[in-house]
Copies of this chain bind each other. A is one copy, B any other.
Amino acid sequence: MAKKTAIKLSKRDIQTLENLAGMANRVVAQAKRKKDPAVDIPVRALSNVCFNDRKRIIEMGKRTSQRQLFNLSQAKSFMQTMLVASGTKQLIEQGKTTSIRGLYYLLKHTIAGVKEETFDEQGDCDPIIEDCEVLLECLREELHLYAQKRGDMVGEIVLTDKGDEIDCSRMGSGGYGIPSIVEPDVIQFKKCSAKFVLHVEKDTVWQRFNEDKFWSKHHCILTHGAGQPPRGVRRLLYRLHNELNLPIYCLLDNDPWGYYIYSVIKQGSINLAFESQRMAIPDAKFLGLRSIDFVRCKLSDSVKISLNDQDRKRAKQIAEYPWFIKKKAWQKEIETMLDNGFKLEVEALTNRDISFVTEQYVPQRLQEGNFLD
């Protein structure tokens, strides 16, 4: 009898381990050939990011920079890169996952013979993790690292999560807490009668929709990400869209932050452009709130929140994003907000009636097919 249960590696894990071994083998081969060990790391900077018009997502360019062992200014980060890679290999082989904070502590130690620490602080480790992601062409989750866990889901879908069957239409007022790792070896979709996904910005708005059983009346899935959705929520929306062909409708605030959240869901994040191809949903639609809603929904002056300088600056920056700049409707949307001189929160609709948003606003937008793209 085996003393220790053998860890069953998923196909994804085997692939990631191969990538890790490949990188290590290249370094070893260089050393054996008496060449200076080095790795080529794709540049993660705005200068190496572009918008792919055809795929409609943010992509990384092809620029790389070399990180060498025998280079005084690069030796430490070379060592850190190998250390992070070896740490994630250990996690995968053990069948365990951890947070980026956990990995930092796992790898942090005083280097033998000197007083130097491998990492002085979390900020030293995080960019190296991102380097390893691009270097190995793996998502963080595939390296068995998890991000913060936020966001909940209810609606007409049955899934399994680590083998447990979860019927999201029987989750009461609390809902199913969306995990941070939602890859297919963890989460499998079993049965889905939902016709679309409604993603709302805030947990408080989500509670309103859940209480009014919106998802049951309109046959949908209801998610939130407690603000800017964390990676788990984005990746889950991506999978729901791509595997189950569900349209994704976003109900966000009528302010630059709401626009930005939409931009990240739709086109990907600028900082982590390499993830876009597995996270971004170019077909996601912006359902509201819209700058015309003050008039369209006959809201009272009381709900206006004046734009401040920061809001105006951010709005203008967002209007310049390559994926917004060519869209007349978006240009008009942002212009109208600037002309209005105020922003509107989804909760402002409460001013009409407590369930105006669930019973009138969203159903009307859906019926009219009235979205921003």
Chain A residues with a Cβ under 8 A of chain B: 91, 94, 96-99, 101-106, 108-110, 117-118, 146, 148-150, 152, 160-166, 170-181, 186-187, 203-204, 206-208, 211, 226, 300-303, 345, 347-351, 354-355
The complex is assembled from copies of this chain, and their number is 2
Instruction: Choose among B94, B146, B172, B350 the residue that contacts A102 (Cβ–Cβ < 8 A).
Output: B350
A302 and B117 form a contact (CB under 8 A): yes
Beyond A96-B211, A99-B208, A106-B351, list 18 extra A-B contacts (CB 8 Å).
Answer: A98-B208, A99-B347, A102-B204, A105-B345, A108-B303, A149-B174, A149-B204, A149-B206, A150-B203, A161-B171, A162-B172, A164-B170, A166-B170, A171-B177, A173-B181, A173-B186, A174-B176, A176-B176
Nearest Cβ distance between residue A222 and chain B, in whole angstroms?
12
Nearest Cβ distance between residue A41 and chain B, in whole angstroms?
25
B347 and A101 form a contact (CB under 8 A): yes
Instruction: Choose among B105, B110, B177 the residue that contacts A174 (Cβ–Cβ < 8 A).
Output: B177
Nearest Cβ distance between residue A361 and chain B, in whole angstroms?
13
Interface majority SS on A: helix, strand, loop or mixed? Answer: mixed
B174 and A178 form a contact (CB under 8 A): yes
Instruction: Choose among B177, B207, B300 the residue that contacts A99 (Cβ–Cβ < 8 A).
Output: B207
Kindly list chain B residues whose C-beta atoms are within 8 Å of the C-beta of A171.
Answer: 161, 164, 166, 176-177
Q: Which residue of B lies closest to A159 (CB)?
A: B172
B166 and A172 form a contact (CB under 8 A): yes
CA distance A160 to B170 in the complex (A): 10
Instruction: Choose among B106, B162, B176 the residue that contacts A350 (Cβ–Cβ < 8 A).
Output: B106
A105 and B161 form a contact (CB under 8 A): no
Kindly list chain B residues whose C-beta atoms are within 8 Å of the C-beta of A161.
Answer: 171-174
Nearest Cβ distance between residue A227 and chain B, in whole angstroms?
11
Q: Which residue of B lies closest to A160 (CB)?
A: B172
Nearest Cβ distance between residue A153 and chain B, in whole angstroms?
8
Instruction: Choose among B97, B118, B177, B178 the residue that contacts A211 (Cβ–Cβ < 8 A).
Output: B97
